[in-house]
Amino acid sequence: MAVAPFIRVASPTITPSRYGLATAADLVVESDPKLRNGIEFDVNPTGPAKLSRAECAPPNDPPEFDTGIDVSQFDPLVVYRGFTCSPVGVSEEDVLDQARRALAGGEWAAVEKALWSGDYERPLMDTPTDVLTTTAVPLVKGIGLLEETLAEEYGGVGIIHAPRHIAGFAAEKNQIDVENGRKVTTLGTRWSFGVYPNTGPGTAPADVDTAWLVATGAMQIRRTDVTYRSVIDVRGGARYAIAERTYVPAWEGPQAAVLVTLT
């Protein structure tokens, strides 16, 4: 008995995950190909201002001055997805589209993992990170410690980076509000519920029912448009395609971490 062929339709649309780093950071699309060299900028002065007495009060101590202008530098990340198949019945456009869709579905997860785990030059969980507590504290207390650090040492709206499964626990404790399409804390600090490995200093995995949270200042992420490459292996006959783009994450202010309990 003859069997009718399947009807070919378009693949389901993948909507990128929300409320991770793509939502929390400020995204800048950069057209300059030199972005692959990395970036540098003058660091904003942060921290509390100084105090002096009124003119009619007893003599003041000599004024204190900050010295120089610090420059911060950040290296690039090149994120790519490759695809290969037999060239028979598949056009160059087909393989490039497959690579593009593969990149779109996983590029932010790759950036988040790299930022946390050490695949990036300045990982979030690294030696400069100020570990506020190595003994797990309640989630709400841990958030409070990070908020306090951001207020004292930064003074701007920062980001709390948390493994994605923490979102449900934070919501249960009424620690998530919505502001301009972003998830924020009760004080307006942005949440980034990313695909972060739940690891602490030295990449040691967190114990069961505990999690690490990391606070940073505002994060700006520059990235290029997607570029494509397609070649055919003349010896083997296979067609190869790569879709890639360059990211440069950058931030200021403190890096502080807390270990929290989820029970």
What is the pLDDT confidence band of residue 59, given thresholds at 50, 70 and 90?
low
Tell whether the model's pLDDT for residue 211 goes beyond 70: yes
What is the pLDDT confidence band of residue 235, given thresholds at 50, 70 and 90?
low
Tell whether the model's pLDDT for residue 35 goes beyond 90: yes
Report CA-CA distances (Å) from 249 to 79, 137, 145: 12, 29, 24
Tell whether the model's pLDDT for residue 53 goes beyond 70: no
pLDDT greater at residue 47 or residue 228 = 228
pLDDT greater at residue 28 or residue 128 = 28
Question: Highest mean pLDDT: which of 78-82, 83-87, 94-98, 220-224?
Answer: 220-224
pLDDT greater at residue 169 or residue 45 = 169
* Residues 6 or more apart in contact with residue 254 via CB below 8 angstroms: 130, 149, 150, 153, 154, 215, 216, 217
pTM value > 0.85: yes
Nearest to 110 by CA among 23, 204, 37, 196: 196
Tell whether the model's pLDDT for residue 256 goes beyond 90: yes
Return d(Cα 179, Cα 156) in angstroms, integer.
16
SS3 state of residue 257? strand
Return d(Cα 142, Cα 259) in angstroms, integer.
7
pLDDT greater at residue 44 or residue 22 = 22
Phi, psi of 237 (to 5 degrees): 85, -5
Contact 8, 201 (CB under 8 A): no
Tell whether the model's pLDDT for residue 57 goes beyond 60: no
